[in-house]
Structure 1
Amino acid sequence: MAVSREPAPTLTRWNRFDTSWTLGLFGTAVGAGILFLPMNAGLGGLWPLLIATVLIWPMTYFSHRALSRMVVASPNPDQDITGVVRDYFGETAGRVVTVLYFLAIFPIVLIYGVGITNTVESLMVNQLGMDPWPRWLLAGVLVLAMSAVMVAGKSVMLVVTQWLVYPLIAVLVAVTLLLIPRWSLEGFGGIPAPGDFAMSLWLMIPVLVFAFNHSPAISQFSVSLRERYGDGAVQKSASILRITATLLVVFTMCFVWSCVLALGPEGLQEAKDANLPVLSHLANVMGLPLIAWLGPAVAVTAIVSSFFGHWLGAAEGANAIVRTMVDPQRRRISDRSLQIGVSVFLILTTWLAGVINPSILALIESIAGPVIAIILYLMPMYAIHKVPALARFRGTASNVFVVIAGIVAVAGILLSFFR
């Protein structure tokens, strides 16, 4: 069935389709990265956090715009990012990038299995006064509930995400304002030495990259825009991504600053050691009844909304690995069987992660961070520099900025391994 495309004049008008994807991308980014961001960002000190606040909007917008351009500018309108990469770089390089793409996203799906289990367990014990369920049972119920939305289809996921994101934004604002009376600069000290300042900022960048990352949904977002807007998809994707980045920076960084100033260095370290989202820790230690309930509500909503977008990317990567390396002729595994197999694999591994309970920040720093930085920051810039179909995007200062940011992020992650 042919897909209808809106005529070019409608590109100037914002519509429900654009809003739906803006909220979907926002929801993808507002997850465990943001709920754990205050710990790493705040422990680095206030001055590095201030510089990071200035840098994160251009880092987020320009990098995701470049990744989207790789897909929407492809001469083959039927390809998602895994197919586009094979077209651009060849079969062998395409397979390598497909594996990296999967490795950039799959650990984050596991992170949400851990995050949702810890958050709900903390809610049961500290707010509801219940005895916790066996961890294997609690993780299983929660992972199955989140996965059911994805199995139902992308359209269902977008509807559920919209219903989640609006209250999520409202409660984030409420928590940010409620913490203001608790703000204090005690414990943060003065201006750090230049070496300490640079090191703190350097180590903060990888966590920022992860916290604002919505690349797992960029491929399907770009395919949808290409189907709807045709040649105008490049312009429309830039518009949607600009608004998404703005919403993320405004709501997220205000929330981060409020949490950092309210908890102080000691409180942030306690939350990090407990492997809890910052809001669950706030609910346990602040003694404010409203925070006690809003904190876990925000944490659960943020994790669920972000889980959806990352499931899309992980499933896309897993499907591509099977199709390119296991059954390229599509003779042994039907599309339906593959979809069921990938869903079962994601459900079981996410449930297992929730039971084992590895350190979330360690997963972010050691696995997700470096691959995300390569896929999101460096690969699109290399493609723009090398691929003729992307030549029109060359020669801009934003490209240089993204390359530098990507190198700094990867180097910061490597540095953390040796510290």
Structure 2
Amino acid sequence: MAIGAGIVFLPIQVGLKGLWVFLLSILITYPAIYLLQRLYLKTLSEAEECSDYANVINQYLGPNWAILLGFAYFLMQFKGILFYSIAVTYDSASYLQTFGITDNLMSDHFWWGLLVLSIVVAIASRGERLLFKVSGPMVVVKLGIVIIIGIIMIPHWSFSNIPSFPQLGSLIRDTFLTLPFTLFSILFVQILSPMNVAYRKVESNKKIATYRAIRTHRIAYTILAVSVLLFAFSFSFTLSHEQAQYAYEQNITALALAAKVLPDSIIKIMSITLNIFAVLTAFFGIFLGFQEALKGIIRNILIRFIPKDKINERFLSIFVCLFAISILWLIVMTKISFILLTQIGAPLNGIITCLIPCFLVYKVPALHKFKGISVYYVMFMGIMLCCSPFFKFFE
């Protein structure tokens, strides 16, 4: 899931704001990502009954808090899935036009988004086993392409794309605005809850399941940090500010832009393959979390009126799919910018991924053992993300 935003959205923001801003945001964000995801996973793993996020909060704080925080978690997942819905809709249309299959952008037609989203939701809703069969080979391919593209783009580097060092005020402002993009570049917190549930299903011993989940997180984080940074830096040296501005105005990703402007046919083919695989696997991954969050909210409401065993799970799954297609299609039709969406949605991630786990550590006696300096740093990161959108007014 994480090899999505880091390679398709981050290079555009780096091109708009410059390399110096990116370097500062990395120094702040990357240590926080590791700490906040580990803390988030530990708070989930300590729950006696392992289920969706809303159920875990219910165990810790009661049903009223579960509805409130479960809804906030749902909004975070919804923002993420909207992110990739925009990408899959507009990039697919851009590729068809780039290669002469269509004369006009198919995304200008109202039905295009509905068709594309219906297909990807239909695949994503088939369950974890099918997603692993579909996404597994894609993940291996796209990780390899990320590293290869980062290397073969070196001959296209132009150090004239590195801007002069900005003034302090501009540096601080643009760093705050870039924090959400750097955060999302290797963030996979949305999939940690489903991953935790999956490990608890196959391991009867809670400690072993927690150990395996934390180990998986550590390995994934290291691989992502190295490969995505190589890719992002290579792109920032290759694409100019004007080209990044064009991508921003057209609401397309860095890889769709590369297919249009880079002369090397190998890079074009690889960037298209990478974009398709990255967006699809990210969409599939986050759909698991989105589906889990929405089902958790609905169950929490229904059990107040009917017994839990009376809930029709099949009908619930169908409702979630139809709701996802309808609401995503309607919002994608507004042509909202994914750059703007990332910036205004940063407080949600700050609250869910940073502040709530810190709050749980200090609120729940069973989690007091996780107190420490890392919790304060995660809390600091959450506050910065909550403040991030307000710096848009100073642009």
Q: With the length of structure 1 as denominator, give the TM-score of the two structures.
A: 0.87
Partner of 2:329: 351
Aligned to 1:95: 67
Q: Residue 376 in 1 paired to residue 350 in 2? A: no
C-alpha contact 1:63 1:376 (8 A) present in aligned 2: yes
**2:338 equivalent in structure 1:** 360
Match of 1:139 among 113, 136, 143: 113
The residue that corresponds to 2:251 in the other structure is 275
Distance 1:223 1:52 in 2: 32
Equivalent residues, number:
389
Distance in 1 of aligned mates of 2:6 and 2:76: 14
Cα contact 2:349–2:385 (8 A) shared by 1: no
For 1:393, the equivalent position in structure 2 comes to 370
How far the C-alpha of 1:276 sits from its partner, in A, is: 0.5
CA distance in 2, matches of 1:67, 1:401: 14
Q: Could you say which residue in structure 2 is the equivalent of 1:14?
A: none
* 3-state secondary structure, aligned to 1:186: helix
1:353 Cα deviation from its structure 2 partner = 3.5
- Name whichever of 345-354 and 119-128 sits farther off: 345-354
1:173 to 147, 158, 171: 147
2:30 to 27, 48, 57: 57
Query: How much does 1:102 deviate?
Result: 0.6
For 1:363 and 1:321, locate their aligned partners in 2 and report how far apart those are by CA, in whole Å: 24
* Contact in 2 for aligned 1:115/1:276 (Cα 8 Å): yes
Match of 1:289 among 262, 265, 269: 265
CA displacement at 1:103 relative to structure 2: 0.6
TM-fit CA distance, 1:129? 3.8
Quote how far apart the aligned CAs of 1:174 are: 2.2
Summarize the Cα distance change of 1:270–1:224 in structure 2 as closer, same or farther, 3 Å threshold.
Answer: same
Over residues 26-72 of structure 1, what are the superposed CA-to-partner deviations in whole Å (9 max), with x where a residue is unaligned? xx122245311112133222222223333443222111111111111
The answer for the alignment partner of 2:42 in structure 1 is 69
Which stretch shows the higher mean deviation, 329-338 or 264-273?
Answer: 329-338
Structure 1: tracts of 5 or more residues without a match: 1-27
Matching residue's letter, 1:267: Q
Question: Could you tell me which residue of structure 2 aligns to residue 20 of structure 1?
Answer: none
The answer to whether the Cα contact below 8 Å between 1:209 and 1:373 also exists between their aligned partners in 2 is no
**Residue 125 of structure 1: which of 85, 97, 103 is its match?**
97
CA RMSD, 1 decimal: 2.0
Identify the residue that residue 168 of structure 2 maps to in structure 1. Answer: 194
Aligned to 2:2, which of 19, 29, 32? Answer: 29
* Counterpart AA for 2:239: L
Tell me if structure 2 keeps the 8 A contact 1:82–1:317: yes
SS at match of 1:130: coil
Q: TM-score, normalised by structure 2?
A: 0.92
The answer to whether the 8 A contact 1:113-1:353 is kept is no
Distance 1:417 1:86 in 2: 38
- 2:110 touches 2:333 (CA, 8 Å); kept in 1? yes
Identify the residue that residue 320 of structure 2 maps to in structure 1. Answer: 342
Cα distance change on mapping 1:418 and 1:318 into 2, 3 Å: farther
- Give the match for residue 266 of structure 1: 242
Q: Which range moved further: 399-408 or 49-58? A: 49-58
Q: Which residue of 2 aligns with 1:23?
A: none
5+ residue gaps, structure 2: none
1:409 corresponds, among 359, 375, 385, to 385
Amino acid at match of 1:271: A
2:322 is aligned with 1:322? no
Q: Distance in 2 between matches of 1:182 and 1:402?
A: 38
Tell me, what secondary structure is at the counterpart of 1:53?
Answer: helix
Distance 1:200 1:418, change over 3 A: closer
